[in-house]
Amino acid sequence: MENEKEIGLVTHFFSKIDVAIIKLKDELKVGDKILFRGGTTNFDQIVESMQIEHEGVEKAKAGQSIGLKVKDKVRENDVVYKEISE
């Protein structure tokens, strides 16, 4: 997809609280539209909030791992893309 950029990888998923841990390869901000893609995963959502070490943050950068509430089940090694607005 030409308007998507790979920005991270799901490293863990806490199913009881629907939180994914994502290791970022690029910057991510609250308000960004992201897409989850994997063997059986395929959905998008808007980043409403995210945390680093249990602290709410507005943006995170490459190399950081974030906790993100997700609206559907994700799996380890699912790829996370950010929608790039033209």
Kindly write down the DSSP assignment for every residue of 43-67, as one continuous string: EEEE---EEETTEEESEE-TT-EEE
Tokens standing for residue 21? 């841990």
Domain containing residue 25: CATH number: 2.40.30.10
Above 60 in pLDDT, residue 1?
no
Task: State the pLDDT at residue 66.
Answer: 98
pTM: 0.94
Q: Domain limits at 76? A: 4-83
CB atoms within 10 A of CB 38: 15
CA dihedral 79, 74, 42, 46 (to 10 degrees): -80
| Total structural domains within the chain | 1
- Kindly indicate the confidence band of residue 2, based on its pLDDT and cuts at 50, 70 and 90: confident
> What is the separation of C-alpha 63 from the centre of its chain, rounded to a whole number of angstroms?
13
